[in-house]
């Protein structure tokens, strides 16, 4: 075979090969992703499962709490949260703007913003037994939280309730009314108002807010004096390098004069942040009555 014949044969084979190739077209975006085949039976099972499956529900959570120990609990923002307490008639004390309502053993809380909500829950018959909760609003479904006590706390609560029922408790103002009064006073302070029956004055040197929590610096700025109470208002600042949660227990002195402690508007402080701190103290018995000069003393009469 001559060289010319071989060249013609190669050209013919090249033409035949080019005719057998598919034409090049622009890529179809809809076919850019490879789809796996799905059987008709699998599709039917998926539809049947979606139609019969019950919606997801958030089961109640049981939290073991102790008096004097603050518990951080996430709750739903902008929704009604349900807190089941171990008390027959719980009393809520807070300076937060969150809406609260009690029905029987249950406390309903509806936070309006992302500001943490600090609550003190006390049995209606004895305000000395208190549960401290800090609720952290989050964008989650509404929650139901059940509070439980350890056996020792249940025993203490039972003893206090029996003493109140038998009349062996300490005399004084009705406990629910007393707690409601402290709640109203702290709310007025949070709204930057002077509570009725109190006079605003500068604090004495002995009236100093001290908290034993590391990195928490306190400064006393105001004193509000009432008939049987003195309210100290100060500023608590986080001078540390880490975020801290204010532990109100460290701001109570050992003599038992402090009745209540509350931080507003925040209880969790980042480094450099500050908040107001309210301390309610019981006045000493000799301070509750003002001195009156006798009319028989020389110079007493004009």
Q: Are 248 and 263 in contact (CB under 8 A)?
A: yes
Which burial class, exposed, middle or buried, applies to 151 when counting CB atoms under 10 A from its CB (0-12, 13-18, 19+)?
A: exposed
- Identify the residue whose tokens are 């003393």: 297
Structure tokens belonging to residue 138: 């989050």
Distance in angstroms (rounded) separating the CA atoms of residues 101 and 185 = 18
Mean pLDDT of the chain: 76
Integer CA distances (angstroms), 6 to 12, 18, 20, 268, in order? 10, 19, 22, 91
What residue spans define the domains of the chain?
61-171, 189-287
Identify the pLDDT of residue 89: 83
Residue 278: closest CA among 206, 194, 173, 178: 194
Q: Structure pTM?
A: 0.45
Residue 188 confidence (pLDDT) above 60: yes
* Least confident residue range of 40-44, 45-49, 52-56, 263-267: 52-56
Q: What is the CATH number of domain 61-171?
A: 2.60.40
Integer CA distances (angstroms), 81 to 74, 98, 107, in order? 10, 11, 8
Instruction: Tell whether the torsion through CA atoms of 139, 115, 113 and 75 is positive or negative.
Output: positive
Instruction: Tell whether the torsion through CA atoms of 123, 125, 127 and 129 is positive or negative.
Output: negative
Distance in angstroms (rounded) separating the CA atoms of residues 193 and 184 = 11
- Identify the residue whose tokens are 């702290």: 186
51-109 pLDDT, tens digit per residue, is 444 333 445 788 988 887 888 999 999 999 999 998 888 888 888 889 999 998 899 99
């Amino acid at each position: 075979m001559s060289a010319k014949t071989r060249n013609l044969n190669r050209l013919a084979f090249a033409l035949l090969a080019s005719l057998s190739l598919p034409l090049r077209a622009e890529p179809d975006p809809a076919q850019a992703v490879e789809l796996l085949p799905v059987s008709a039976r699998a599709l039917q099972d998926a539809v049947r499962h979606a139609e019969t499956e019950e919606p997801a529900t958030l089961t109640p959570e049981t939290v073991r709490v102790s008096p004097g120990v603050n518990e951080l609990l996430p709750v739903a923002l902008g929704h009604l949260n349900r807190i089941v307490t171990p008390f027959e008639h719980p009393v809520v004390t807070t300076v937060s703007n969150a809406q609260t309502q009690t029905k029987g053993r249950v406390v309903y809380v509806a936070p309006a913003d992302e500001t943490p909500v600090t609550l003190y829950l006390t049995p209606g018959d004895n305000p000395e037994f208190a549960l401290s909760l800090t609720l952290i609003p989050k964008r989650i479904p509404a929650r139901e939280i059940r509070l439980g006590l350890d056996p020792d706390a249940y025993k203490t609560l039972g003893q206090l309730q029996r003493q109140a029922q038998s009349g062996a408790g300490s005399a004084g103002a009705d406990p629910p009314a007393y707690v409601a009064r402290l709640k109203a006073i702290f709310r007025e302070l949070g709204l930057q108002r002077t509570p009725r029956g109190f006079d605003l004055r500068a604090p004495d040197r002995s009236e100093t807010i001290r908290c034993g929590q590391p990195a928490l610096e306190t400064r006393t700025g105001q004193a509000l004096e009432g008939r049987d109470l003195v309210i100290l208002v100060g500023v608590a600042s986080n001078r540390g390098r880490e975020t801290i949660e204010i532990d109100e227990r460290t701001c109570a002195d050992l003599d038992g004069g402090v009745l209540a402690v509350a931080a507003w508007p925040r209880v969790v402080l980042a480094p450099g942040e500050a908040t107001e701190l309210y301390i309610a103290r019981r006045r000493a018995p000799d301070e509750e009555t003002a001195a009156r000069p006798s009319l028989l003393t020389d110079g007493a009469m004009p």
